[in-house]
């Protein structure tokens, strides 16, 4: 089970690193592209919020890659996984409000939930 949890942590870290860096480096281009979509409802995040979420994603991803033995307790890893899970739950709601499919965000939420359950003491 520990190996599967590690694989889930690595996948989770990879997804959040990619999402965080792509948000930071391409947020202006993405905002223009989203406004051009026909089903865009106008519910947008400001640039500051997008950057703040990207920093949280990158920090969480880096923390997920730290070996469990280096943490002082499992509580820190559980806290990081919980923050990432809540972030994905909020992203699912955001996408649903924009009439976009929330399934990818929910899938990542479930992976974060798997890490939480797998690392629970």
Domain boundaries, the chain: 2-119
pLDDT band for position 9 (cuts 50, 70, 90): very high
Q: Helix crossing, 74-97 with 47-64: angle to 10°?
A: 140
Confidence band for 36, pLDDT divided at 50, 70 and 90: low
Provide the pLDDT for residue 42. Answer: 58
Which 3 state secondary structure label does DSSP give 45?
coil
Instruction: Please tell me the total number of residues recorded for the chain in this structure.
Output: 121
Question: pLDDT class for 76, splitting at 50, 70, 90?
Answer: confident
The full DSSP string for 85-104 is: HHHHHHHHHHHHHTTS--HH
Using the predicted structure, report yes or no on whether residue 103 has a pLDDT greater than 80. yes
Cα gap 53→121, rounded to integer Å = 29
Asked if 6 and 116 count as a contact pair (C-beta separation under 8 A), the reply is no
- The pLDDT of 38-56, averaged and rounded, is 78
Q: 74, 121 in Cβ contact below 8 A?
A: yes
pLDDT at 105: 95
Greater confidence (66 vs 106) lies with 106
Whether pLDDT at 40 is above 70:
no
Greater model confidence, 80 or 42? 80
Residue 36 contacts residue 3 (beta carbons within 8 Å): no
- Residue 73 has phi, psi (to 5 degrees) of -150, 165
pTM over 0.85: no
């Amino acid at each position: 089970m520990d190996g599967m949890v590690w694989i889930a942590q690595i996948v989770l870290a990879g997804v959040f690193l990619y999402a965080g860096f792509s948000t930071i480096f391409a947020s202006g281009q993405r905002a223009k592209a989203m406004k051009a979509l026909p089903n865009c409802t106008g519910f947008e995040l400001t640039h500051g919020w997008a950057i703040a979420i990207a920093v949280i994603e990158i920090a969480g991803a880096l923390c997920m890659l730290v070996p469990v033995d280096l943490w002082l307790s499992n509580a820190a890893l559980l806290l990081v996984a919980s923050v990432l899970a809540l972030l994905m739950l909020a992203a699912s709601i955001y996408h649903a409000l924009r009439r976009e499919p929330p399934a990818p965000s929910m899938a990542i939420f479930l992976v974060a939930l798997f890490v939480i359950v797998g690392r629970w003491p």
